[in-house]
Chains A and B, each alone.
Chain A
Amino acid sequence: MSSFLQVTELSRLLTELLSPFESAALMNSEGQLLGIKYETITDIGTFGTCIQTAKKYFQIKEGDVVLSNDPYSGGTILSVMSLVTSFQIADQTFYLAFRTRFKPRMANSKRLEDEGIRIPPTPIASQRKINDAIIEAISSHPQAPAGMAPRFAERFQVLWRQIDLLKSWATKSPGLLHKNLQKEFLTETQDRISRKILDMRHGDQRFDLHFETGEVIRMRTEIRNDGIHFDFAGSSNSQRLFLTDAATYGTCMAGVLAFLGEDFLLNEGMYSLVTVTTPAGCFLNARYPAPLFEGVAEASSVLAAAVVQSLASITSSRSTGLNGAIPTILAYEFESGKIYFDGMAGGAGASSDAAGVDGYFLWSLNKLQPSIEEIERLYPLRLLQSGIRQASGGKGAFAGGNGVLRETEVHEDCTLKWLLGHRNTQIKGLKGATSGMASEITVLKPSGDKVSLTESRGEMRLQKGDRVIAASAGGGGFGKAAE
């Protein structure tokens, strides 16, 4: 059979294996990532480290599972749990890692631990049996996410089923997982993307990016025959935002993938074509115990958009506006312990030939929007309006996407925590287009008093009957509007 058909079939097999997970990766016995299913940009750069770290500390036997959420051991943020297991097919050992997400804790934090419980790599299952005592111990921590035990139990059923399905397939058709085909699969990926890069206009560009919080990214992008390279020498240290170097790498890779626009299963073959240099001390190469939630929420989406911009600029093609994708995030923490976490996407920036999308997380593949009816059923609050923030996108030949507008009335006293992307700076329009509107939050008291929240992050007490009117930023337009 022709090898391109076999490579397609291997890709299909791996895609099916990973499909039931929100994000997951498979590593082969050579330590190469054969396939990565990602949901967020930080997934892309972190799975390799996640598996290697688990392997380093534990001999993971078939049926064992190692749990970690430590961003400094290959995790992303503390609310995202990474789980690693291994299995044997003939003489090969494979490692399968997957992630499951819980509600993040918003904290105006100075240390990682303020954002939740930090779990270093910890064995939590052996011979496919969950160690209930360990899960119970972790769950009893006041900062542990709610509902870990049932979630793990449910996800493990899926995990064992997927592994069994792969093993039974490999028993009947061993050819697709033969080492030589794996090698060819990775080499083919590298060759095909390499050819794409060769076809691009080569060159380099410097790009400076200033954050409202004070950080500065100084990025040098270079497209060469051997790949695409990013150097962040000269970027500032942190004022408030932090990203790990693995998350920075994933962010740059996400920008490259978006720019290339190819639909394929991401794997190790692609990784050698994108290099990222982040100097020590810079906020894009954070060290423990720096907190990461805000950096991941804010800096990663801005950086990914900057990557796309720089590639478009070097190649003189596919220009896109800097998107308004820094979300506006609100958390309503009720005294009962319930937390309603409301992430409101901004409008996406317009591009050279298309308007931006309204209220859209450009850099997350989790497209689930909460149901109004489900929110009201679960939390003591009522939504009075939820929809598009009209005319908030920049005007131009192509309009920026509009932000989202939501009005929420709380029915119990609670603490509101917020993180406002683009509070004081608008998303700039490009090539003569206007900027999108900045984000804003107003609290309306039953007395009629209004409190405008001017800080880009903070918290305040809300009383029963208070209303919160939150609006996320609009994306920038592209091109001058016709007269």
Chain B
Amino acid sequence: MALQAYLQVGLSFAEVGLFEQNKLKVHRRFYLPQEPLGTALKKFWQEHGLPQSLKVSSRFLEKILDAKLGGTVAQVVTAGFETWAILRQPVLPNRFDIKPYRQEPLASQELIFGLSERVDCNGHVLKSVDINELEFINSKLKLMGVKRVCVNLLFSHKNTTHQDQVAKYFLEQGFEVLAAPRSETSMDEMPAWRRNVINACLSGAFTEHIDDIKKSWGEASVELSFLGRTGEDVKDDKNHIAGSLFSWTTQLAHALRPQADQVLYLGLEKWSLISTQHYSEHWQSPWGLIEGRIPFTKQLDLQPTQEMNSGFWGGVHFSPNELGYEPGPMAFGRALKPTVFDVVNEKYKAPVSQIQPNGAQKFRDQLTAMIKNIPELHGQSVEKLVQSLIDHMVQMMSIECHFKAHKDSKKTILTGLYAPYFYELLKKKWLGSELILDPSSAEREVCSLAELAGGTL
């Protein structure tokens, strides 16, 4: 019997589901720092059989963005605007501060080349591309060992001639070229330019990521689809890499649309409020807005790996600093800083196999020390403090969702690994729309993929 597999890859965890006749046969979660994806998949196929097809949704490459490992990426821009992208980079922090700083760009500023071409806002060519200029840039790029070139020209969506011409030229010269088509209604060049740069920076890692997955079945034949922002297979088109980071929101929205107009997703790695009905034309990145239509998504201010430390108001708070799962929360046994995950695990014993008994004990010891050292916590028991913090999380999430929900929202579905723990508590606080629990919360990621492909549990 033919098997279909669906794989959802996050930053530190991956989940795979194997389906037979559209029924889930086996579901497994991998912890990637301990078990690299390729190795884990290979073992999984050996145990359960190779699928005929594999659909992948991955935001694994966000890691590359976080680490700013862009590689050698050049940009060819309309002359006169070589440093424009830098001025459009966000400045932090978002308050008055005597030492503000501009977000570091992904790609090197030394590799931005001006091209004296110009198209106006109606698409008329004011100055044609000069082939001599292209040849000059080409020779410099080759000298510098550049492999990837982004073509970022003004008004390229009003008249694609120059973009196509420049892209074709550099393609013929052996470069990998990133020049994604722009939306006709686009009003701002920068989200489109940033998309090209992100695609270019992720390109090498994208190929490696796909190769890693392919190697897990060796010489065998498996039909692989790597899902983009709208669910299409994008493995052969690098102009869609950035969009593929959001395929998970599309899947959730698509799979849960029949049940609710809004999804409160409390997954293992990310907590978000996602509309199943409304879309935004851009997504917010640390480098500013990026062009790409995705379901309207608000990342909650409370996230599962946020650090717990002393806050402005005294006592403890959950700081915006996300620690991630490497080395993991204290409960995993190696980390030293308490997180939201640890608090939830202390109360509910999260179903994650990486939890170590000594890690959970370390967290309790840490809470005991906090109770002793922080005046606002004096006299509390560990149990009481944990309960207060859980209630606090619920209150903070409820306030945020209450204000950030779409104004027309009538029904919200709660899903993700943490959903069952928070459902009853959230229900008491929930306002405005009806809140229901997704019966498939724990396997939601893989179920969404399967449902997208017409399968069921």
Contacts and interface: CB of A to CB of B under 8 A. Distances in A.
Interface in A370-384: 371-374, 376-377, 382-384
B80 A407 contact: yes
Interface of A: 1-5, 7-9, 11-13, 16-17, 19, 41, 161-162, 165, 168-169, 172-173, 188, 192, 254, 257-259, 261-264, 304, 308, 318, 320, 348, 351, 353-354, 357-360, 362-363, 365, 367, 369, 371-374, 376-377, 382-388, 390, 404, 407
Given A2-B315, A8-B392, 15 more contacts: A2-B380, A9-B399, A19-B403, A262-B312, A308-B98, A318-B98, A351-B99, A354-B99, A357-B102, A372-B81, A373-B155, A373-B186, A377-B187, A387-B87, A388-B86
Contacts, number: 157
B326 interface: no
Nearest to B317: A8
B101 A357 contact: yes
A409 B317 CA distance: 53
Which of B83, B88, B392, B429 counts the most A-chain CB atoms under 10 A from its CB?
B83
B313 A387 contact: no
B343 to A, nearest CB: 12
A373 B154 contact: yes
Nearest to A375: B121
Nearest to B157: A373
Query: How extensive is the interface on chain B, given as a class?
Result: 35 or more
B120 A382 contact: yes
A348 B101 CA distance: 10
A263 B95 contact: yes
Interface in B152-201: 154-155, 186-190
Contacts of B388: 1-2, 5
Which of B189, B312, B407 counts the most A-chain CB atoms under 10 A from its CB?
B312
B311 A387 contact: no
Q: Which 10 A/B pairs are nearest by Cβ-Cβ distance? A: A385-B80, A387-B83, A4-B315, A371-B188, A16-B403, A258-B96, A388-B83, A4-B314, A320-B98, A5-B392
B96 A257 contact: yes
Given A192-B314, A363-B96, A387-B87, A12 B396 contact: yes
Contacts of B391: 1, 5
B354 interface: no
B189 A372 contact: yes
B404 interface: yes
B87 A388 contact: yes
Given A9-B392, A373-B187, A259 B98 contact: yes
Contacts of B402: 16, 165, 168-169
Contacts of B376: 2-4
22 contacts: A1-B388, A5-B391, A9-B395, A12-B400, A168-B432, A173-B395, A188-B313, A192-B312, A254-B96, A257-B96, A261-B97, A261-B98, A264-B312, A320-B98, A354-B99, A359-B87, A362-B100, A365-B96, A371-B189, A372-B81, A372-B84, A372-B154
Contacts of A169: 399, 402, 431
A386 B94 CA distance: 24
Contacts of B315: 2, 4-5
Contacts of B120: 376, 382
B429 A373 contact: no
Contact of A4 (B84, B96, B154, B311): B311
A172 B83 CA distance: 52
Nearest to A165: B403
A384 B80 contact: yes
A358 B86 contact: yes
A8 B129 CA distance: 58
Which of A5, A172, A362 counts the most B-chain CB atoms under 10 A from its CB?
A5
B93 interface: yes
Interface string B30-54: 0000000000000000000000000
Given A8-B392, A387-B84, A13 B102 contact: no
B73 to A, nearest CB: 19
B333 interface: no
A376 B121 contact: yes
Contacts of B314: 4, 188, 192
Nearest to B112: A387
Which of B90, B102, B188, B403 counts the most A-chain CB atoms under 10 A from its CB?
B403
B87 A358 contact: yes
A300 B284 CA distance: 32
Contacts of A387: 80-84, 86-87
B146 interface: no
Contacts of A320: 98-99
Interface in B100-120: 100-102, 120
A144 B84 CA distance: 33
Contacts of A304: 96
Contact of A404 (B87, B102, B121): B87
Contact of A7 (B82, B90, B313, B403): B313
